[in-house]
Structure 1
Amino acid sequence: MHVRRTCKTVALLFPLLLLAACRPPSAPAAAQVPTVSAADLVARGEYLVRIAGCNDCHTDGYTQRQGEVPQAQWLTGSALGYHGPWGTTYATNLRLRMQDLDEAQWLEYSANLHTRPIMPDFNVRAMSEEDRRALYRFIHGLGPAGERAPEALPPGRTPPPPYFGLVLPPAPPETAAAANAH
């Protein structure tokens, strides 16, 4: 008789246990947001500088030396001009630029960044605030070094060497004729 009662109890409780097992777990009372340490932000900034290609333009000789440039020389700008229909652009000395801004100014500036070609400013604008903060912390932490980059030149003015010339192909004749017809 005892065995029959136990089986009946289990038979009645089984559906309840099954329902309880299928119910999603309740959320914790307060979600914990992981905090990122200052050291982690700096390390993230260094990582972003490496993979985002910042050094490719902003560190003289970085590409030619396949990235084998001491960190002490990183991001000091370049005298290599990027010359095209917009004029000539020079890669900014980011080490000096970051000394001119506090973190809040950098976050505002970089969230709305619009620069001259060939800088892919849209990539910086697309970064999360945390990634832009990490860039700031890393670059600012490197300290000032180097000289300011040359000033940009307007269209039609040939820069002194060295410069990288970006030449657009001429428009196809049918496109030019159609443009003149309108």
Structure 2
Amino acid sequence: MQAFIPSAAALLASLVVASAVAAPKGDAEIRHGRYLIATSGCNDCHTPGYMQKDGKVAETEWLTGDAMGWQGPWGTTYPANLRLLVGSMTEQQWLIRARQPMRPPMPSPSLQAMTDDDLRAIFRYVKSLGPKGDPAPAYVPPGGLVMTPYLDLTPKNLPPVAAHH
């Protein structure tokens, strides 16, 4: 009797099918959350050096917040360490928080436009990264003393406001 020896392609196909069957739904949600983080610009602010390094920052460093402030008429804000923030929340708390208005330059309308499934996927992805880093500096109100580097987003050379009749 001759022994059956499967081809490499057959072995690969059976492994792919087995892993797809064995992979829990949570893995797909985590992958979707990673995709949303990567394509929605979250790392641009919440990962130190991400924009300056053209996105070439190890995923282990993603979403650890930044001490680079963003200053404008609202005061000075800092990108939160999402790994610590989300790590301290329940999924329901995250869904509520993600729907609340936030100070600039956070694009909260974009976050608010996401579906609950998208927000859950982001939550699960960030949780999967685990805690890392320190909290971002605290918000500084307009006119307050800022002790960190910051980018000035104050509008300049605005046209005069037309008088209302």
User: TM-score, structure 2 length as denominator?
Assistant: 0.80
- Out of 39, 42, 47, the position equivalent to 1:51 is 39
Q: 1:108 corresponds to which residue?
A: 96
Structure 2 residue identity aligned to 1:72 = T
CA shift, 1:170, in A, is: 4.6
1:65-118 CA-to-partner distances (Å, cap 9, x unmatched) read 0111111110000000001111000000000001110112212222x2211110
The change in CA–CA distance for 1:109 and 1:172 in structure 2 (over 3 A counts) is closer
Give 5+ residue unaligned stretches, structure 1. Answer: 1-35
Q: 1:149 corresponds to which residue?
A: 136
Structure 1 residue identity aligned to 2:155 = L
In the alignment of these two chains, the number of paired residues is 142
Structure 2 residue identity aligned to 1:55 = N
Q: 2:71 corresponds to which residue?
A: 83
Work out the CA distance in 1 between the residues paired with 2:159 and 2:126. Answer: 45
SS in 1 for 2:110: helix
CA shift, 1:171, in A, is: 4.5
Give 5+ residue unaligned stretches, structure 2. Answer: 1-23
Q: 2:17 corresponds to which residue?
A: none
Identify the range of structure 1 (133-142 vs 152-161) with the bigger mean alpha-carbon deviation: 152-161
Work out the CA distance in 1 between the residues paired with 2:131 and 2:108. Answer: 22
Does 2:119 match 1:132?
yes
Q: 1:119 corresponds to which residue?
A: 106
Structure 2 residue identity aligned to 1:47 = Y
Normalized per residue, which structure has more helix? Answer: 1
Q: 1:73 corresponds to which residue?
A: 61
Over alpha carbons, which structure has the higher Rg? 1
CA shift, 1:156, in A, is: 1.6
The change in CA–CA distance for 1:162 and 1:101 in structure 2 (over 3 A counts) is same
SS in 2 for 1:101: coil
Q: 1:167 corresponds to which residue?
A: 154
Q: Residues 83 and 159 of structure 1 are in contact (CA less than 8 Å); yes or no, is this contact kept in structure 2?
A: no
1:140-172 CA-to-partner distances (Å, cap 9, x unmatched) read 110000000000100122523411001212544
Work out the CA distance in 1 between the residues paired with 2:36 and 2:159. Answer: 40
Structure 1 residue identity aligned to 2:54 = Q
Structure 1 residue identity aligned to 2:74 = W
Q: Which runs of 4+ in 1 moved over 3 A?
A: 170-173
